[in-house]
Amino acid sequence: MLDFAVIGAAQAGLSMAYHLKAMDKDFIVLDGKDEIGASWLSRWDSLKLFTPTEFNHLPGLEFDAPKGHYPTKFEVANYFKNYVDVFKIPVQLNTLVTSVHKTEDGFEVVHNGGNILARNVIVATGPFHIPYTPPCHKRMADDIFQMHSNNYKREKQLEQGDALVVGGGDSGYQILNEISKDASRTVYFSGDTTVKSLPQNFLGKTLWWWFTKIGFLSYNKYSWIGKSLSSITQPVIGTDVKEILSRENVIPVGRTKDALNEQIIFEDQKVSSIKNVIWATGYRPNFTWIDGLELDSDGYPKNYRGVSNIDGLYFIGLPWLFTRGSATLGGVSKDAEYLATVIQEQAEKRATA
Protein backbone atom coordinates (compact mmCIF):
# COMPACT_ATOMS: atom_id res chain seq x y z
CA MET A 1 0.00 0.00 0.00
CA LEU A 2 1.31 3.43 -1.01
CA ASP A 3 1.34 6.41 1.30
CA PHE A 4 -0.28 8.61 -1.35
CA ALA A 5 -1.94 8.40 -4.75
CA VAL A 6 -1.99 11.76 -6.55
CA ILE A 7 -4.57 12.01 -9.34
CA GLY A 8 -3.51 14.48 -12.03
CA ALA A 9 -0.04 15.34 -13.37
CA ALA A 10 -0.41 19.04 -14.23
CA GLN A 11 0.69 21.96 -12.04
CA ALA A 12 -1.37 21.00 -8.97
CA GLY A 13 -0.33 17.35 -8.93
CA LEU A 14 3.33 18.11 -9.62
CA SER A 15 3.42 20.76 -6.86
CA MET A 16 2.12 18.22 -4.35
CA ALA A 17 4.52 15.57 -5.66
CA TYR A 18 7.43 17.92 -4.92
CA HIS A 19 6.42 18.13 -1.25
CA LEU A 20 5.66 14.41 -0.95
CA LYS A 21 9.12 13.71 -2.34
CA ALA A 22 10.67 16.07 0.22
CA MET A 23 8.76 14.27 3.00
CA ASP A 24 10.06 10.92 1.70
CA LYS A 25 6.57 9.56 1.09
CA ASP A 26 5.89 6.48 -1.02
CA PHE A 27 3.56 7.78 -3.77
CA ILE A 28 2.52 7.65 -7.41
CA VAL A 29 1.08 10.38 -9.67
CA LEU A 30 -1.62 9.06 -12.00
CA ASP A 31 -2.71 10.75 -15.22
CA GLY A 32 -5.13 9.61 -17.92
CA LYS A 33 -3.23 11.26 -20.80
CA ASP A 34 -0.33 9.81 -22.77
CA GLU A 35 2.25 12.53 -22.01
CA ILE A 36 3.14 15.10 -19.39
CA GLY A 37 1.56 18.46 -20.17
CA ALA A 38 -1.17 16.99 -22.36
CA SER A 39 -3.89 19.08 -20.73
CA TRP A 40 -2.07 22.21 -21.92
CA LEU A 41 -1.08 20.86 -25.33
CA SER A 42 -4.72 20.08 -26.12
CA ARG A 43 -5.65 23.79 -26.08
CA TRP A 44 -5.53 26.16 -29.06
CA ASP A 45 -2.19 26.73 -30.78
CA SER A 46 -1.86 30.47 -30.19
CA LEU A 47 -2.55 30.23 -26.45
CA LYS A 48 -0.20 32.16 -24.19
CA LEU A 49 -0.39 32.59 -20.44
CA PHE A 50 -1.52 36.00 -19.23
CA THR A 51 0.96 35.66 -16.34
CA PRO A 52 4.65 36.34 -17.08
CA THR A 53 7.48 33.93 -16.35
CA GLU A 54 8.32 35.21 -12.88
CA PHE A 55 4.84 34.31 -11.61
CA ASN A 56 4.73 30.79 -13.04
CA HIS A 57 7.26 28.90 -10.90
CA LEU A 58 6.32 25.61 -9.30
CA PRO A 59 8.07 24.85 -5.98
CA GLY A 60 11.77 24.19 -6.26
CA LEU A 61 12.30 24.99 -9.95
CA GLU A 62 12.07 28.31 -11.77
CA PHE A 63 10.36 28.53 -15.14
CA ASP A 64 13.20 28.66 -17.66
CA ALA A 65 12.32 31.81 -19.62
CA PRO A 66 13.22 35.51 -19.42
CA LYS A 67 11.47 37.73 -16.91
CA GLY A 68 8.42 39.38 -18.47
CA HIS A 69 7.96 36.62 -21.07
CA TYR A 70 4.46 35.18 -21.52
CA PRO A 71 4.92 31.43 -22.09
CA THR A 72 3.15 29.44 -24.79
CA LYS A 73 1.31 26.20 -24.09
CA PHE A 74 4.30 24.31 -25.52
CA GLU A 75 6.70 25.98 -23.09
CA VAL A 76 4.42 25.12 -20.17
CA ALA A 77 4.28 21.47 -21.22
CA ASN A 78 8.07 21.33 -21.59
CA TYR A 79 8.48 22.91 -18.15
CA PHE A 80 6.30 20.18 -16.64
CA LYS A 81 8.32 17.46 -18.39
CA ASN A 82 11.56 18.95 -17.12
CA TYR A 83 10.06 19.24 -13.62
CA VAL A 84 9.27 15.52 -13.59
CA ASP A 85 12.80 14.70 -14.76
CA VAL A 86 14.59 17.01 -12.32
CA PHE A 87 12.76 15.73 -9.24
CA LYS A 88 12.34 12.16 -10.50
CA ILE A 89 8.62 12.22 -9.85
CA PRO A 90 6.96 8.80 -10.32
CA VAL A 91 4.24 9.43 -12.93
CA GLN A 92 2.07 6.69 -14.41
CA LEU A 93 0.50 7.85 -17.69
CA ASN A 94 -2.44 6.37 -19.64
CA THR A 95 -4.07 5.70 -16.27
CA LEU A 96 -7.60 7.05 -16.17
CA VAL A 97 -9.03 6.92 -12.65
CA THR A 98 -12.69 5.85 -12.68
CA SER A 99 -13.49 5.64 -8.96
CA VAL A 100 -12.11 6.17 -5.48
CA HIS A 101 -13.44 4.14 -2.54
CA LYS A 102 -12.69 4.52 1.16
CA THR A 103 -11.42 1.32 2.80
CA GLU A 104 -10.53 0.37 6.38
CA ASP A 105 -6.85 1.10 5.75
CA GLY A 106 -7.12 3.94 3.26
CA PHE A 107 -8.42 4.08 -0.30
CA GLU A 108 -8.86 1.90 -3.36
CA VAL A 109 -8.18 3.88 -6.53
CA VAL A 110 -9.71 2.09 -9.51
CA HIS A 111 -8.42 2.92 -12.99
CA ASN A 112 -8.66 1.64 -16.55
CA GLY A 113 -5.84 -0.84 -15.96
CA GLY A 114 -6.62 -2.14 -12.48
CA ASN A 115 -6.48 -0.61 -9.02
CA ILE A 116 -4.06 0.96 -6.55
CA LEU A 117 -4.22 0.98 -2.75
CA ALA A 118 -3.11 4.08 -0.88
CA ARG A 119 -3.48 5.41 2.64
CA ASN A 120 -4.21 8.89 1.29
CA VAL A 121 -5.43 10.38 -1.99
CA ILE A 122 -4.80 13.87 -3.38
CA VAL A 123 -7.14 14.86 -6.20
CA ALA A 124 -5.40 17.34 -8.54
CA THR A 125 -7.61 17.09 -11.61
CA GLY A 126 -8.15 20.84 -11.89
CA PRO A 127 -11.37 22.75 -12.64
CA PHE A 128 -11.89 21.72 -16.30
CA HIS A 129 -13.84 18.46 -16.37
CA ILE A 130 -16.94 18.25 -18.59
CA PRO A 131 -17.18 20.77 -21.47
CA TYR A 132 -20.59 22.43 -21.25
CA THR A 133 -22.67 23.16 -24.36
CA PRO A 134 -26.20 24.62 -24.07
CA PRO A 135 -29.02 22.23 -25.07
CA CYS A 136 -30.03 24.35 -28.09
CA HIS A 137 -26.97 23.05 -29.96
CA LYS A 138 -28.96 19.86 -30.66
CA ARG A 139 -31.57 21.85 -32.60
CA MET A 140 -29.05 23.30 -35.05
CA ALA A 141 -28.81 21.99 -38.60
CA ASP A 142 -26.40 19.11 -39.15
CA ASP A 143 -24.37 21.09 -41.70
CA ILE A 144 -23.47 23.76 -39.10
CA PHE A 145 -19.98 22.94 -37.83
CA GLN A 146 -19.93 23.05 -34.03
CA MET A 147 -17.14 22.62 -31.50
CA HIS A 148 -16.45 23.43 -27.88
CA SER A 149 -13.47 25.68 -27.19
CA ASN A 150 -11.91 22.61 -25.58
CA ASN A 151 -11.39 21.23 -29.11
CA TYR A 152 -10.51 24.48 -30.87
CA LYS A 153 -6.91 24.60 -32.14
CA ARG A 154 -6.80 27.09 -35.02
CA GLU A 155 -9.00 29.00 -37.45
CA LYS A 156 -8.31 26.52 -40.27
CA GLN A 157 -10.57 24.01 -38.53
CA LEU A 158 -13.58 26.12 -39.45
CA GLU A 159 -15.68 25.79 -42.59
CA GLN A 160 -16.08 28.64 -45.06
CA GLY A 161 -18.72 31.18 -44.08
CA ASP A 162 -19.95 33.10 -41.09
CA ALA A 163 -19.02 32.04 -37.57
CA LEU A 164 -20.46 32.43 -34.09
CA VAL A 165 -18.52 32.55 -30.81
CA VAL A 166 -20.59 31.97 -27.68
CA GLY A 167 -19.04 32.92 -24.34
CA GLY A 168 -17.53 36.13 -23.00
CA GLY A 169 -14.67 34.91 -20.81
CA ASP A 170 -10.95 34.86 -21.58
CA SER A 171 -11.28 31.90 -23.97
CA GLY A 172 -14.26 33.36 -25.81
CA TYR A 173 -12.60 36.70 -26.43
CA GLN A 174 -9.23 35.21 -27.38
CA ILE A 175 -10.86 32.92 -29.95
CA LEU A 176 -13.09 35.76 -31.19
CA ASN A 177 -9.97 37.88 -31.61
CA GLU A 178 -8.20 35.19 -33.61
CA ILE A 179 -10.96 34.22 -36.05
CA SER A 180 -12.16 37.80 -36.67
CA LYS A 181 -8.75 38.97 -37.88
CA ASP A 182 -9.82 37.65 -41.27
CA ALA A 183 -11.97 40.62 -42.30
CA SER A 184 -13.70 38.57 -45.01
CA ARG A 185 -15.47 36.42 -42.39
CA THR A 186 -18.42 37.79 -40.45
CA VAL A 187 -18.21 36.69 -36.83
CA TYR A 188 -21.22 36.94 -34.56
CA PHE A 189 -20.54 37.20 -30.84
CA SER A 190 -22.91 36.02 -28.12
CA GLY A 191 -21.51 37.04 -24.77
CA ASP A 192 -21.02 39.82 -22.24
CA THR A 193 -19.95 42.97 -24.10
CA THR A 194 -19.65 44.97 -20.86
CA VAL A 195 -16.84 42.85 -19.42
CA LYS A 196 -13.76 44.84 -18.41
CA SER A 197 -10.40 44.17 -20.03
CA LEU A 198 -7.04 44.82 -18.42
CA PRO A 199 -3.67 45.24 -20.18
CA GLN A 200 -0.84 42.85 -19.40
CA ASN A 201 1.44 45.78 -18.57
CA PHE A 202 0.74 49.05 -16.77
CA LEU A 203 3.14 51.90 -15.89
CA GLY A 204 6.18 49.80 -16.77
CA LYS A 205 5.15 46.82 -14.63
CA THR A 206 3.26 43.65 -15.44
CA LEU A 207 -0.36 43.47 -14.31
CA TRP A 208 0.52 40.47 -12.18
CA TRP A 209 3.19 42.56 -10.39
CA TRP A 210 0.48 45.09 -9.49
CA PHE A 211 -1.89 42.30 -8.40
CA THR A 212 0.79 40.98 -6.08
CA LYS A 213 1.69 44.44 -4.80
CA ILE A 214 -1.88 45.34 -3.81
CA GLY A 215 -2.62 41.86 -2.47
CA PHE A 216 -5.32 41.08 -5.06
CA LEU A 217 -4.18 37.45 -5.28
CA SER A 218 -3.86 36.98 -1.54
CA TYR A 219 -7.38 37.70 -0.33
CA ASN A 220 -8.90 34.43 0.77
CA LYS A 221 -12.44 33.40 -0.10
CA TYR A 222 -13.58 33.62 3.53
CA SER A 223 -12.75 37.34 3.86
CA TRP A 224 -15.32 39.96 2.83
CA ILE A 225 -13.00 41.18 0.05
CA GLY A 226 -12.47 37.62 -1.17
CA LYS A 227 -16.21 36.96 -1.16
CA SER A 228 -16.77 40.10 -3.23
CA LEU A 229 -14.03 39.26 -5.74
CA SER A 230 -15.22 35.67 -6.19
CA SER A 231 -18.79 36.80 -6.90
CA ILE A 232 -18.08 39.35 -9.63
CA THR A 233 -17.31 38.78 -13.30
CA GLN A 234 -13.57 38.45 -13.74
CA PRO A 235 -11.92 40.87 -16.21
CA VAL A 236 -10.41 39.66 -19.48
CA ILE A 237 -6.63 40.04 -19.26
CA GLY A 238 -4.35 40.93 -22.15
CA THR A 239 -7.10 41.07 -24.79
CA ASP A 240 -8.46 44.44 -25.96
CA VAL A 241 -12.20 43.79 -25.76
CA LYS A 242 -13.23 47.22 -27.08
CA GLU A 243 -10.98 46.96 -30.13
CA ILE A 244 -12.28 43.50 -31.02
CA LEU A 245 -15.92 44.53 -30.67
CA SER A 246 -15.28 47.62 -32.82
CA ARG A 247 -14.25 45.54 -35.85
CA GLU A 248 -16.66 45.87 -38.77
CA ASN A 249 -16.96 42.10 -39.18
CA VAL A 250 -17.75 41.44 -35.49
CA ILE A 251 -21.47 41.61 -34.68
CA PRO A 252 -22.64 41.29 -31.04
CA VAL A 253 -26.04 39.59 -30.89
CA GLY A 254 -26.78 39.23 -27.19
CA ARG A 255 -27.61 35.98 -25.44
CA THR A 256 -28.14 32.82 -27.49
CA LYS A 257 -31.75 31.80 -26.78
CA ASP A 258 -32.56 28.93 -29.14
CA ALA A 259 -32.06 27.39 -32.57
CA LEU A 260 -34.19 25.81 -35.27
CA ASN A 261 -32.17 24.17 -38.05
CA GLU A 262 -30.23 26.95 -39.87
CA GLN A 263 -31.82 29.73 -37.83
CA ILE A 264 -30.15 30.72 -34.57
CA ILE A 265 -32.22 32.91 -32.27
CA PHE A 266 -30.53 35.59 -30.19
CA GLU A 267 -31.76 38.30 -27.85
CA ASP A 268 -31.30 40.96 -30.51
CA GLN A 269 -32.00 39.15 -33.78
CA LYS A 270 -32.29 35.89 -35.71
CA VAL A 271 -29.49 34.75 -38.04
CA SER A 272 -29.58 32.02 -40.69
CA SER A 273 -26.15 32.46 -42.34
CA ILE A 274 -23.93 30.95 -39.62
CA LYS A 275 -21.84 27.95 -40.72
CA ASN A 276 -19.59 27.58 -37.65
CA VAL A 277 -20.26 27.73 -33.91
CA ILE A 278 -17.57 27.74 -31.22
CA TRP A 279 -18.96 27.20 -27.75
CA ALA A 280 -16.64 28.92 -25.25
CA THR A 281 -19.21 28.16 -22.57
CA GLY A 282 -17.00 26.70 -19.90
CA TYR A 283 -17.00 23.42 -18.01
CA ARG A 284 -18.93 21.61 -15.34
CA PRO A 285 -17.14 19.89 -12.43
CA ASN A 286 -17.41 16.12 -12.09
CA PHE A 287 -16.49 14.47 -8.80
CA THR A 288 -19.18 11.78 -8.83
CA TRP A 289 -16.49 9.11 -9.15
CA ILE A 290 -15.43 9.68 -5.53
CA ASP A 291 -17.62 7.71 -3.10
CA GLY A 292 -19.07 9.53 -0.10
CA LEU A 293 -17.88 12.97 -1.14
CA GLU A 294 -19.95 15.94 -0.03
CA LEU A 295 -20.36 18.60 -2.74
CA ASP A 296 -21.28 22.28 -2.51
CA SER A 297 -24.00 24.02 -4.54
CA ASP A 298 -21.61 24.48 -7.49
CA GLY A 299 -20.68 20.80 -7.62
CA TYR A 300 -17.23 21.19 -6.05
CA PRO A 301 -16.03 19.19 -3.02
CA LYS A 302 -16.70 20.72 0.37
CA ASN A 303 -13.31 21.35 1.94
CA TYR A 304 -11.22 23.79 3.90
CA ARG A 305 -8.06 24.71 2.00
CA GLY A 306 -8.06 21.29 0.33
CA VAL A 307 -8.89 19.15 3.35
CA SER A 308 -12.14 17.29 2.58
CA ASN A 309 -14.83 15.76 4.78
CA ILE A 310 -13.24 12.32 4.23
CA ASP A 311 -10.18 11.56 6.34
CA GLY A 312 -7.11 11.17 4.12
CA LEU A 313 -8.70 12.74 1.00
CA TYR A 314 -7.34 16.08 -0.20
CA PHE A 315 -7.92 18.47 -3.11
CA ILE A 316 -5.72 21.01 -4.85
CA GLY A 317 -5.96 23.16 -7.98
CA LEU A 318 -9.64 24.05 -7.65
CA PRO A 319 -10.84 27.59 -8.45
CA TRP A 320 -10.86 29.68 -5.29
CA LEU A 321 -9.66 26.74 -3.20
CA PHE A 322 -8.43 29.51 -0.93
CA THR A 323 -7.54 32.56 -3.07
CA ARG A 324 -8.00 33.95 -6.59
CA GLY A 325 -4.69 32.37 -7.59
CA SER A 326 -5.46 28.83 -6.39
CA ALA A 327 -6.13 27.45 -9.88
CA THR A 328 -3.30 29.32 -11.61
CA LEU A 329 0.11 27.97 -12.53
CA GLY A 330 1.96 30.24 -10.12
CA GLY A 331 -0.68 30.39 -7.39
CA VAL A 332 -0.99 26.67 -6.76
CA SER A 333 2.38 26.55 -4.97
CA LYS A 334 1.08 28.30 -1.85
CA ASP A 335 -1.82 25.86 -1.55
CA ALA A 336 0.56 22.93 -2.01
CA GLU A 337 2.83 24.24 0.73
CA TYR A 338 -0.10 24.63 3.12
CA LEU A 339 -1.49 21.18 2.31
CA ALA A 340 1.95 19.61 2.80
CA THR A 341 2.13 21.22 6.26
CA VAL A 342 -1.30 19.82 7.16
CA ILE A 343 -0.31 16.35 5.94
CA GLN A 344 2.89 16.43 7.97
CA GLU A 345 1.05 17.58 11.11
CA GLN A 346 -1.55 14.86 10.73
CA ALA A 347 1.18 12.24 10.25
CA GLU A 348 2.92 13.38 13.45
CA LYS A 349 -0.36 13.20 15.39
CA ARG A 350 -0.98 9.64 14.22
CA ALA A 351 2.57 8.66 15.16
CA THR A 352 2.14 9.89 18.73
CA ALA A 353 -1.44 8.64 19.21
Whether 269 and 345 share a structural domain:
no
Average pLDDT over residues 243-271: 96
Question: What does the pLDDT read at residue 196?
Answer: 85
Question: What does the pLDDT read at residue 136?
Answer: 96
Average pLDDT over residues 104-124: 96
Choose among 324, 129, 346, 303: nearest CA to 225. Answer: 324
Indicate whether 29 belongs to any domain: yes
Average pLDDT over residues 241-265: 96
CATH assignment at residue 172: 3.50.50.60
Question: What does the pLDDT read at residue 207?
Answer: 60
Indicate whether 95 belongs to any domain: yes
Average pLDDT over residues 182-209: 81
Q: Tally the domains of the chain.
A: 2
Phi, psi dihedral angles at 327 (to 5 degrees)? -100, 10
Given 244, 259, 279, the domain boundary residue is: 279
Whether 88 and 27 share a structural domain:
yes
Question: What does the pLDDT read at residue 69?
Answer: 92
- CB atoms near residue 155 (< 10 Å): 18
Whether 115 and 140 share a structural domain:
no
Indicate whether 259 belongs to any domain: yes
Question: What does the pLDDT read at residue 27?
Answer: 98
Question: What does the pLDDT read at residue 63?
Answer: 93
Question: What does the pLDDT read at residue 6?
Answer: 98
Whether 243 and 268 share a structural domain:
yes
Question: What does the pLDDT read at residue 197?
Answer: 81
Whether 107 and 145 share a structural domain:
no
Given 224, 250, 279, the domain boundary residue is: 279
pLDDT tens for each residue of 131-159: 999 999 999 999 999 999 999 999 999 99
Whether 176 and 166 share a structural domain:
yes
Indicate whether 215 belongs to any domain: no
Whether 258 and 159 share a structural domain:
yes
For residues 75, 15, 329, 65, the Cα torsion angle rounded to the nearest 10 degrees is -40
Q: Is it the case that residue 89 has pLDDT exceeding 70?
A: yes
Is pLDDT larger for residue 54 or for residue 188? 188
Alpha-helix runs per DSSP H in the chain:
11-22, 38-41, 73-87, 170-179, 207-214, 224-231, 241-245, 332-352
Given 217, 245, 279, the domain boundary residue is: 279
Average pLDDT over residues 319-344: 89
Choose among 60, 84, 82, 85: nearest CA to 71. Answer: 82
Encoded amino acid at 273, one letter: S
Question: What does the pLDDT read at residue 300?
Answer: 93
Q: How far is CA 180 from CA 38, 71, 183, 330, 347, in A?
A: 28, 23, 6, 31, 55
Report DSSP letters for 106-149, one per residue. Answer: SEEEEETTEEEEEEEEEE---S--EE---GGGGGB-TTSEEEEG
Whether 125 and 147 share a structural domain:
no
pTM for this prediction = 0.91
Strand partners, 148: 279
Range of 266's domain? 131-196+233-279
Whether 38 and 146 share a structural domain:
no
Average pLDDT over residues 33-55: 90
pLDDT tens for each residue of 210-242: 667 666 667 777 777 777 767 777 778 778 999
Question: What does the pLDDT read at residue 206?
Answer: 65
Reduce the DSSP state of residue 169 to 3 states and report it: coil
Residue 102: in which H helix or E strand, if any?
strand 97-102
Whether 274 and 139 share a structural domain:
yes
Whether 8 and 118 share a structural domain:
yes
Indicate whether 168 belongs to any domain: yes
Indicate whether 50 belongs to any domain: yes
Average pLDDT over residues 176-188: 96
Whether 245 and 291 share a structural domain:
no
Is pLDDT larger for residue 171 or for residue 231? 171
Highest mean pLDDT of the ranges 65-69, 209-213, 261-265? 261-265
